[in-house]
Each structure stands twice: as structure tokens, then as C-alpha cells.
Amino acid sequence: MMAEIRVVQGAEAISRVTLRSVIEAVCPLTGLVDRYNVEVEYSPGEERLYIEAYSFQEYLESYRGKRIYQEELAAKIAHDVCRAAQPRWVRVTLVGTHGSVEIEAEHRIECEK
């Protein structure tokens, strides 16, 4: 079961929030554990909802042992942040090394309609 991203409502609106951490998942092709540096950047919407850091870390940790490609993981995180925090936009970047090849996968979406 995936952990939930919780949010808090802020009193002041700011233009951008950036969260950085690490995340592990399993490569569906090789079965090896992949470790990524993750950066989530978003612009809070009119409701001024901000991601609560502890729940976000639990959310990231819930991917441990899950089989998912890096590119799909970036998109999944972006959509989950969009649903939870209702920002104007969100950008998720995952950087990982596979052998001697560094891969950076980025997914950006506009959340407000």
C-alpha cells in the first residue's frame, strides 16, 4: 500500500517550493534495486497547500521494493503531488546511474485548470 502525501495550508502564498530526497525502486527489467536523487518543485495554488515533509518521505519510502521504471516513477510522483497539493504546476526530476550511464527523467505538468 502506498503512503499518502499529506498537505498543510499555509497563511502566506509563496511562488515556489522545492523538495529533495532519495528514492529506491526495483527495475522491472533487471530486478535490481535502483536508487535515485529526486527533486520535486511546485508552485502552490490558490489554496496555499504545502506538502508535509515527513509524509512525503514516507510516500517515497513506500516505493522501496516496487517494480517501476524511472520514467514512469517520475510521472507517478508528479501526478500524486498534483492531486494532493493542487499546485499550479509540478516538476519532478529523478537522476539515477545505470552502470556508467546517468539518466535524468523529468515530468512536468500543469495542475490547475
The pLDDT tens digits for 2-19 are 789 999 999 888 999 999
Q: What is the pLDDT of residue 113?
A: 62
CATH, domain range 7-110:
3.30.1130.10
Q: Is the pLDDT of residue 102 over 80?
A: yes
- Over residues 12-69, the pLDDT tens digits come to 889 999 999 999 999 999 999 999 999 999 999 999 999 999 999 999 999 999 999 9
Residues 39, 113: Cα–Cα separation, whole Å? 24
- Over residues 61-78, the pLDDT tens digits come to 999 999 999 999 999 999
Q: What is the DSSP letter of 79?
A: H
pTM of the model as a whole: 0.94
Percent of the chain with pLDDT over 70: 98
Mean pLDDT for 85-112 is 95
- The C-alpha cell at 102 is 546517468
Of the candidates 63, 49, 69, the one whose C-alpha atom is nearest the C-alpha of residue 8 is 49
Q: What angle do CA 71, 77, 83 make, to 5 degrees?
A: 140
